[in-house]
C-alpha cells in the first residue's frame, strides 16, 4: 500500500475507502482473480512494530491466494451448476426436478404439521400464444411467476411444474389460508389485466387446485395427484376457479347410495364429467356390438371399482374418474380378433401376447378423446401387479396409481365370478379366497383386505340391481 499511495491511480480511490484502509492499517493487498476477472481481495494489516513483509512472506501469501482463487472459481462454478440444475431459466422459479425432490422432503418434514400444495394453471394459454406469439406468452409466464413469488414471499417456494402450470409448496398452511393466498394471486392478476397497455388484449385468468396434507393425502405422490385433480376440476367447472381437494363427501350415504349419487352427478349436464358420458356410451356401445361379455364386464367393473373407492374414502370426483376408467378399461378390445375374444379354450402364448396389447390400444383410443386424459393412468395400470410382474410397464407397489390398483381388484373379481366361453364363474366366497391368496403378490395388500370384507359382507352383491338398471 505504501507503493500504491505514491501512484497517480491512488487519487481515483474514493475518500471513504481511503479512510477505511487507514483505519484497518492495510499494508498489502492481493487480488483473488481468474484471468482478468477479480472476484475478491485479501487484505493484510501492518505487522507488529511496523516491520515490513519480506519477499518470502509475500511469495508464500501470493501462492496461498492463487490456490484460494482456484477454489473460489470452482465454488462459483458449482454454485452456477447447482442453480441451473434447479432453476427454470425463463421464470427464475424452481424447476420440476427440484419440485419432485422437495415435495418428498417437505412431506416427510411436515408430517406432524401441515403442508399445502397449490397448483396455478394459466387458462387458455395455448390460445394466448397463438394470438399474441410466444414472446408475449413468455412475458405472461414471467408475470405469473413474479406475482406468485411476491404473494408467497418467504412463506413457501414457487416451482414451474410444467409449461403453463406453477406450483407452490406452503409449510404450515391450512386450506383456508391457502385459498386466501390463491385469491390474492388472482386479484394481482386482475390488476395486471387492468393496466392501460393491455387494453384490447385478452384477459388472463388462472385455475387453482389445492391439497393439504396430512388431511388430503397420505403420501407425497397423493399430494401431487390430489392437487392435480383439484385443478382439473377447477378448469372443468368453468376456469378462473379455486378448487380444494377433500377426502370425503356425503359420508352418511351407504356404499350403494353413494355410488348411485356419483353416477347421477356424472350424468348431469352441469357436471364436468357429463359432457364426456355421451362419448363413453358411444364407445361402450361399439364394444357391445362386437363382444357383449366385454360390454357387461366393463359396466360391472366400473361399479365395483367405484364402490371400493367409496369404501376407502375417495371424494366424488375421484369416484367418478374411477367409474369412467372402469367403463373404458377394456375399450381396446375393439381391435382384438373375434376368434380370440370368443375362444372356448385357453389362449396360446402368442394369442395371450395379442390380448395383452388391448391395454395400449385402449390408451391409443382414449388419448384422442377431448378432455379424457385424466383416465389414462387408471386404464393403463389395471393389469399391473403389486409385485411388479404385471404389464404393460411392470410397475411395482405404489408406483402404480391407487385408482388403477382399485380397478385391478374389481376387474379380477368380476372375471372370476362371471361365466366365460371357456369356463364357468366361481362363487363370491371362492373369489374372495383367491384375492386373499394374491394379497401382496398381484394386489395391494391393504386394498385387497378392504375388498374381501366388502365381498363377504354382501356390499358388492347389493350393487347387482344397480348394474341391471345401468
* Domain boundaries along the sequence of the chain: 4-86, 96-244, 255-469
- Same fold yes or no, 96-244 and 255-469: no
Please say whether the beta carbons of 208 and 234 come within 8 A.
Answer: yes
Which residue, 379, 383, 382, is CA-closest to 365? 379
Please say whether the beta carbons of 103 and 224 come within 8 A.
Answer: yes
Residue the block writes with cell 382414449: 366
- Interatomic CA distance for residues 273 and 404, integer angstroms: 19
Please say whether the beta carbons of 342 and 369 come within 8 A.
Answer: no
**Strands 157-160 vs 115-122: parallel, antiparallel or unpaired:** unpaired
Stated pTM of the model: 0.62
364 — phi, psi (to 5°)? -60, -35
Please say whether the beta carbons of 280 and 374 come within 8 A.
Answer: no
The grid cell for 160 is 414451474
pLDDT (tens digit, 0 to 9) for every residue of the chain, 470 residues total?
Answer: 888 888 999 989 899 988 998 899 999 999 998 878 888 889 999 888 878 888 999 999 999 999 999 998 888 888 888 877 899 989 999 999 999 999 999 999 998 899 999 999 999 998 888 899 999 999 999 999 999 999 999 999 999 999 999 999 999 999 999 999 999 999 999 999 999 999 889 899 999 999 999 888 889 999 998 999 889 888 877 789 999 987 654 445 678 877 887 777 776 655 555 566 777 878 877 777 777 778 888 889 999 999 999 888 888 888 888 998 999 998 888 888 888 877 778 888 898 899 999 999 889 888 877 667 778 889 999 999 999 999 999 999 988 999 999 999 999 999 999 887 778 899 999 999 999 999 999 999 999 999 999 999 988 876 755 554 44
Q: What is the largest CA-CA distance in the chain?
A: 107
- Interatomic CA distance for residues 51 and 43, integer angstroms: 16
Beta-bridge partner residues of 115: 171, 213
Residue the block writes with cell 395455448: 126
DSSP letter (8 states) at residue 114 = -
CATH class of 96-244: alpha beta
392-413 in b/e form (b: 16+ CB < 10 A) is eeebeeeebbbbbbbbbbbbbb
Q: What pLDDT shows up at residue 466?
A: 55
The grid cell for 153 is 414471499
- Interatomic CA distance for residues 176 and 182, integer angstroms: 10
Which residue, 394, 321, 402, is CA-closest to 356? 394
- Interatomic CA distance for residues 186 and 448, integer angstroms: 43
Cα 204 off chain centre by: 23
The grid cell for 68 is 484460494
Cα 319 off chain centre by: 19
Q: What pLDDT shows up at residue 345?
A: 83
Task: Tell the CATH superfamily of the 255-469 domain.
Answer: Hypothetical protein af1432 (1.10.3210.10)
Please say whether the beta carbons of 137 and 125 come within 8 A.
Answer: yes
- Interatomic CA distance for residues 234 and 156, integer angstroms: 22
Q: What pLDDT shows up at residue 469?
A: 43
Please say whether the beta carbons of 215 and 233 come within 8 A.
Answer: no
**Strands 206-213 vs 115-122: parallel, antiparallel or unpaired:** antiparallel
Amino acid at each position: 500500500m505504501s507503493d500504491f499511495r505514491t501512484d497517480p491511480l491512488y487519487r481515483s480511490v474514493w475518500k471513504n475507502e481511503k479512510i477505511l484502509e487507514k483505519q484497518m492499517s492495510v499494508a498489502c493487498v492481493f487480488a483473488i482473480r481468474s484471468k482478468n476477472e477479480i472476484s475478491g481481495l485479501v487484505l493484510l494489516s501492518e505487522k507488529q512494530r511496523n516491520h515490513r513483509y519480506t519477499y518470502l512472506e509475500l511469495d508464500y501469501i501470493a501462492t496461498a491466494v492463487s490456490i484460494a482463487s482456484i477454489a473460489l472459481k470452482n465454488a462459483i462454478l458449482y454454485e452456477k451448476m447447482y442453480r441451473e440444475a434447479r432453476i427454470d431459466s425463463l421464470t427464475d422459479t424452481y424447476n420440476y426436478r427440484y419440485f419432485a425432490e422437495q415435495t418428498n422432503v417437505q412431506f416427510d418434514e411436515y408430517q406432524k404439521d401441515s403442508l399445502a400444495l397449490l397448483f396455478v394453471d394459466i387458462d387458455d394459454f395455448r390460445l394466448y400464444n397463438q394470438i399474441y406469439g410466444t414472446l408475449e406468452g413468455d412475458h405472461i409466464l414471467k408475470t405469473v411467476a413474479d406475482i406468485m413469488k411476491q404473494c408467497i414471499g418467504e412463506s413457501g417456494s414457487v416451482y414451474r411444474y410444467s409449461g403453463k402450470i406453477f406450483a407452490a409448496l406452503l409449510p404450515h398452511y391450512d386450506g383456508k389460508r391457502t385459498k386466501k393466498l390463491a385469491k390474492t394471486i388472482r386479484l394481482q392478476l386482475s390488476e395486471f389485466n387492468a393496466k392501460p397497455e393491455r387494453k384490447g388484449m385478452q384477459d388472463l385468468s388462472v385455475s387453482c387446485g389445492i391439497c393439504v396434507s396430512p388431511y388430503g393425502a397420505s403420501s407425497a405422490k397423493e399430494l401431487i395427484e390430489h392437487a392435480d385433480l383439484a385443478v382439473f376440476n377447477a378448469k372443468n367447472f368453468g376456469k378462473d376457479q379455486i378448487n380444494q381437494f377433500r377426502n370425503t363427501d356425503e359420508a352418511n350415504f351407504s356404499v350403494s347410495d353413494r355410488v348411485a349419487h356419483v353416477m347421477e352427478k356424472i350424468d348431469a349436464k352441469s357436471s364436468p364429467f357429463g359432457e364426456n358420458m355421451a362419448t363413453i356410451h358411444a364407445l361402450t356401445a361399439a364394444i357391445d356390438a362386437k363382444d357383449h361379455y366385454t360390454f357387461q364386464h366393463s359396466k360391472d367393473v366400473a361399479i365395483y371399482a367405484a364402490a371400493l373407492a367409496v369404501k376407502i374414502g375417495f371424494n366424488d370426483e375421484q369416484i367418478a374418474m374411477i367409474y369412467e376408467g372402469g367403463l373404458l378399461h377394456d375399450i381396446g378390445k375393439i381391435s382384438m380378433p373375434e376368434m380370440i375374444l370368443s375362444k372356448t379354450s385357453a389362449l396360446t402364448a402368442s394369442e395371450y401376447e395379442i390380448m395383452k396389447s388391448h391395454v395400449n390400444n385402449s390408451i391409443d383410443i382414449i388419448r384422442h378423446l377431448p378432455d379424457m386424459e385424466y383416465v389414462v393412468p387408471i386404464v393403463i395400470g389395471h393389469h399391473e401387479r403389486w409385485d411388479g410382474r404385471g404389464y404393460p410397464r411392470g410397475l411395482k407397489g405404489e408406483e402404480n396409481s391407487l385408482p388403477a390398483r382399485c380397478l385391478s381388484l374389481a376387474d379380477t373379481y368380476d372375471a372370476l365370478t362371471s361365466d366365460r366361453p371357456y369356463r364357468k364363474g366361481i362363487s363370491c366366497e371362492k373369489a374372495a379366497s383367491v384375492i386373499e391368496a394374491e394379497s401382496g403378490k398381484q394386489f395391494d395388500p391393504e386394498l385387497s383386505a378392504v375388498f374381501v370384507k366388502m365381498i363377504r359382507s354382501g356390499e358388492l352383491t347389493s350393487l347387482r340391481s344397480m348394474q341391471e338398471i345401468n
